[in-house]
Structure 1
Amino acid sequence: MNEASRFARLPFLIIVALCFVQVAWWVLFQFREAESREQLEQLRLETLCSLASTSIAPATANTPNQRELFERELRLQSRFAELELTDGPGISVRPTAAAFAAIRKKTRHTLIMFTSEAIAFTVVILLGIVLLYGAVRRETLLRRQHESFLAGTTHEMRTPLATLRLGLQTLENVGTDSDQARGYLRRMVGQVDRLRLQIDNLLRTAAGDPHALNLLSGDLVSDLEEVREEFAPRAEARGVELSTSTPETPVTVRRDKAALQQALRNLVDNALKYSANGGVVRITLNIDEVNAVLRVRDDGPGVADEDAPLVFDRFYRGQAQAQGAGGTGLGLWVSRDTVTAHGGTIELSPSDTGACFELRLPLATDTT
């Protein structure tokens, strides 16, 4: 967790602590109030006993007739309904067992009510805090993604343009007939393709109906070869070997050629981006019983464990942003969206070195 995340969570932790303290104080106060009310009720009964003893008959009277009259007066006066005569000589009164039980029952019900209210208040407060924290966290994440997207897009647009400008200035000085000029032209073509890929990703993201595909049967081997040829100048300029292994026979799938090639470009572009100069990007195409299986593997730093579940999310860049790598966070999302629309799957496969993305497309059952 970075310092910004810790700082963002601190106010919520303080609010949670204050809420718990407030609820605990309120519960303690109500418990004490309930105990005080119970003591007051007991004191009321004791006062009532004294009043009954002095207002109905003297406590020293102990004849049977006087005792009978006293008991009758207790029953007749409703204010003394909670009192009864004591056993033994003399006439004295005491609270009934039912009166004490009623006081204890009332106190118990009061405590249960306060406890239930405290639990309900705590749940409501915590739910509100969780919802508020989630909203703030989502807003913060969206803001960071927006900033990252703008920074990545700016970088991805400016870098090819700067390379093109440098190449044109060089060609202006050396002409176009030398080997050096042809090398610059190849680099410029690669940068144009890179710029086009980013624009295509942006347009694909903004499309109103991204799944409106024109599916036709075609050879995936030839589609992949065209993509490899597009990236060959860029790979050569960085000294990266672009290794391709495909079947000798056609691999027929139903696909929208333009959309699928864009998905393939994103995978190859991602592999080249993270491969070190002089590295190797391996592209292999095989078939199983029902699928064409394409794997794009690089020898770069790989994908961090915390990034793995999120690499296909739109605008997500993860460690790429921290490492200063370019990108908009759209390429892998566009690839997955496109492959899914073709009825296929794409996933990050385990790899000892670098990253390996595996794409599966259903083989065509006809040639129309």
Structure 2
Amino acid sequence: MDDPKTVQDQDAQRREQAFLSGFCQDMESPLNVILTGAEFLAEAARRSPGCYTPQQEHALQSIQDSAAVLGRMAENILDAYQCLSAGAAVRPQAVELVSHLERLAQLVAPCAARQGVALAFSAGTQSLAVMTDRILADRVVLNLLSNAVYHGGARGHVWMELEPGEDKHLLRVRDDGPGLPAALADRLNSEQPFSPPSTRGSGLGLYLCREFCKALGWHMYITGSPQGTSAELTIPSGWDAAGELHSSPVSAMLEADDMRRMVQREFAQQK
């Protein structure tokens, strides 16, 4: 017979999840209306240059940027709850890393181009097999790429570079944007619990990347400077993770997203 307290905790967890899911979905509809209306106004400005005053153009850009930030926060809040609320086994499998990363870069490249950002991928080898959980690994890479594109700024550059080693490999995602605040980088690297910074952006996406990396047996190190931000991932060739997450549990609900939908979701609000 199930322990009454356990049943009560599980019921409370389900109610919390339903609330957060409904909250994020409720935010999505008005945000889409705001973004669609803002895009309509922006299109009018492109067709008729000078139809808005500089103040009006600034206000329009602020609306688009703020709505995009809210949308990303809602998605990250839901991801954080789903991925960190209940323990589940991760599922390692053999992955050909070079071709897989190249595919992810190709998925993100059109979205980056619409932002005016040049995305480049390079690898020090033509083929590299590793053991990892593909779904979690995809989330890490896509989150890092989307962060770099979004925060790197227009007419910027994003590089994803793979450096193979004997037992471990280095994957670096970097940009030439304004750079991650030093306090946030230090908090992520010291593995402190998540707390929203006072600067723009919640940092929740990078926090999730850190937790996913721990689950995979990877190590993430973030650096930020006025010349840009760099995220370095140390990836073992074999399977170094525990196979089941205790300190950083990941929900089994994680494995639902279609890859292209994930990319479109990240960038739909940044056109």
Query: Fold conserved (TM > 0.5)?
Result: yes
1:263-320 deviation per Cα after TM superposition (whole angstroms, max 9, x unaligned): 1111111111211210001110111221121001111111233332124656544254
> Which residue of 203, 221, 225 corresponds with 2:102?
225
Structure 2 match to 1:296 = 173
Structure 2 match to 1:329 = 203
Does the 8 Å CA contact 1:296/1:357 hold for their aligned counterparts?
yes
Q: Secondary structure at the match of 1:307?
A: helix
- The 2-side partners of 1:160 and 1:267 are apart by 24
- The 2-side partners of 1:216 and 1:200 are apart by 26
Structure 2 residue 141 is matched with structure 1 residue 267: no
Show the 5 A alignment for 1:235-246.
235-246=112-123
Show the 5 A alignment for 1:80-91.
none
Structure 2 residue 229 is matched with structure 1 residue 355: yes
- The 2-side partners of 1:245 and 1:262 are apart by 20
Distance 1:165 1:203, change over 3 A: same
Structure 2 match to 1:45 = none
Structure 2: give runs of 5+ residues left out of the alignment: 1-23, 43-70, 240-271
Distance 1:350 1:169, change over 3 A: closer
- The 2-side partners of 1:350 and 1:202 are apart by 27
Structure 2 residue 181 is matched with structure 1 residue 307: no
Higher-Rg structure is 1
CA shift for structure 1 position 250: 1.8
Distance 1:203 1:254, change over 3 A: same
- The 2-side partners of 1:269 and 1:203 are apart by 15
Show the 5 A alignment for 1:53-202.
157=28, 162-163=34-35, 199=75, 202=78
Does the 8 Å CA contact 2:161/2:173 hold for their aligned counterparts?
yes
> Which residue of 278, 302, 309 corresponds with 2:155?
278
- The 2-side partners of 1:212 and 1:250 are apart by 28
Relative contact order higher in (CA < 8 Å, ≥ 6 apart): 2
Does the 8 Å CA contact 2:221/2:231 hold for their aligned counterparts?
yes
1:110-133 deviation per Cα after TM superposition (whole angstroms, max 9, x unaligned): xxxxxxxxxxxxxxxxxxxxxxxx
Q: Secondary structure at the match of 2:182?
A: coil
Q: Secondary structure at the match of 2:228?
A: coil
CA shift for structure 1 position 358: 0.2
Distance 1:363 1:226, change over 3 A: same
1:75-124 deviation per Cα after TM superposition (whole angstroms, max 9, x unaligned): xxxxxxxxxxxxxxxxxxxxxxxxxxxxxxxxxxxxxxxxxxxxxxxxxx
Higher strand share: 2
CA shift for structure 1 position 215: 0.5
CA shift for structure 1 position 341: 1.3
Structure 2 match to 1:205 = 81
> Which residue of 196, 199, 219 corresponds with 1:345?
219
1:2-52 deviation per Cα after TM superposition (whole angstroms, max 9, x unaligned): xxxxxxxxxxxxxxxxxxxxxxxxxxxxxxxxxxxxxxxxxxxxxxxxxxx
Structure 2 match to 1:318 = 197
Q: How many residues align?
A: 187
Distance 1:259 1:220, change over 3 A: same
CA shift for structure 1 position 210: 5.0
CA shift for structure 1 position 200: 6.9
- The 2-side partners of 1:196 and 1:230 are apart by 18
Q: Percent identity?
A: 27
- The 2-side partners of 1:197 and 1:234 are apart by 19
Distance 1:349 1:244, change over 3 A: same
Does the 8 Å CA contact 2:73/2:202 hold for their aligned counterparts?
no
Does the 8 Å CA contact 1:217/1:364 hold for their aligned counterparts?
no
* Paired residue type of 1:331: G
- The 1-side partners of 2:32 and 2:119 are apart by 20
Structure 2 match to 1:364 = 238
